[in-house]
Amino acid sequence: MLRECLDYLDVKEGEIVVDCTLGLGGHSSEMLRLVGPKGKLFSFDLDERNIAVAIPNLDAVGNNYKVIHDSFSSLKNRLKREGVSRVDAILFDLGLSSPHIDDAARGFSFQKDGPLDMRFDATQGETAADILHGRTESELADIFYYFGEERRSRRLAKAIIEFRKKARFESTLQLRDFITEVLGKGKPGKHSATCIFQALRIAVNKELEALELGLNQALELLAHDGRVVVLSYHSLEDRFVKQTFKQLATDLRDPNDPFGRRVLRPKSLSLLNKKPITASPEEIADNSRARSAKLRAAKKL
């Protein structure tokens, strides 16, 4: 949804803009082209390999950009170090990029065999295997229940603890087969491992914490009339974005005021789309990940 993102970002010449999720640089390159030589782009990514691919793509457009190898949860601090406290447009295109899925060695896919890694930043932090071996039974059940929305989370967590007593989880296919044994194969078109792999990935990369921190900082950083666009790929992310936008797009009134007139915090956002934008059938045919994409956009008042 490149075109839709760019429409809502409405980037103008000379503006300061941020891409929180550089990936391979598709959106960033367009944002850099639109700000022109007098503007500035800051792009964040946790993945050094994606950054290495994106930089030549950005260089082909201009040099008024800075790539920051860090989480967007450090947005405000990292921009402060660059002397930036106000931004005109901010994009979040959340989650995985295609190399994460295509490269079996990253451990995100259960279609190919690879190590149980799943870190966006392969230089630090716990892997999926570390989580499977380091968490208690109830912590694992919570991860599967809350991040994978798996109703049989306790059954799986119990089986993992039993397995752990005699062996180690090493590879993606081994874990997929283990999940199939415990939970069954799942429905046609949705393997039961899908939700469990999603849950582990969210836990490994602390994705929901990062989104909460990053989005709140982004909304503080936006200048008057600044735009924020979020593309999310699962309901947990989209729910959070929807609620945050809705809260800030409504006056907070004093519940103790009998006439309901006293405003404690005036609204600071205007929603640019009431319903989330989804990908066209053509885009979904081209890229199956787009099927679950939801775009929400807002403007700072």
Ligand X SMILES: C[S@@+](CC[C@H](N)C(=O)[O-])C[C@H]1O[C@@H](n2cnc3c(N)ncnc32)[C@H](O)[C@@H]1O
Least Cβ distance, residue 282 to ligand X (angstroms): 18
Report d(CA 94, CA 239) in Å as an integer: 13
SS3 42: strand
Least Cβ distance, residue 123 to ligand X (angstroms): 12
Task: CB nearer to ligand X: give 118 or 141.
Answer: 118
Least Cβ distance, residue 280 to ligand X (angstroms): 18
Least Cβ distance, residue 101 to ligand X (angstroms): 10
List for the chain the helix, strand, coil content (%; round to 5).
50, 20, 35
Residues 260-276 as b/e (b if ≥16 CB within 10 A, e otherwise) read eeeeeeeebbebbeeeb
Choose among 72, 127, 126, 134: nearest CA to 105: 127
Least Cβ distance, residue 275 to ligand X (angstroms): 22
Least Cβ distance, residue 120 to ligand X (angstroms): 4
- Which residue of the chain is nearest ligand X when measured via CB? 23
Task: CB nearer to ligand X: give 74 or 194.
Answer: 74
Task: CB nearer to ligand X: give 4 or 47.
Answer: 47
Strands 263-265 and 269-271: unpaired
Task: CB nearer to ligand X: give 120 or 245.
Answer: 120
Task: CB nearer to ligand X: give 65 or 72.
Answer: 72
Least Cβ distance, residue 225 to ligand X (angstroms): 23
Task: CB nearer to ligand X: give 82 or 181.
Answer: 82
Report d(CA 280, CA 3) in Å as an integer: 12
- Residue 274 DSSP class: S
Task: Please state the φ and ψ torsions of residue 124, each to the nearest 5 degrees.
Answer: -160, 165
Task: CB nearer to ligand X: give 58 or 140.
Answer: 58
Question: Which residues of the chain form contacts with ligand X (CB under 6 A)?
Answer: 21, 23-27, 44-47, 50, 71-73, 93, 95, 97, 120, 205, 210
SS3 246: helix
Question: Which residue's entry shows tokens 């990908």?
Answer: 279
Residue 222 contacts residue 300 (beta carbons within 8 Å):
yes
**Which residues is 252 bridged to in the sheet?**
265
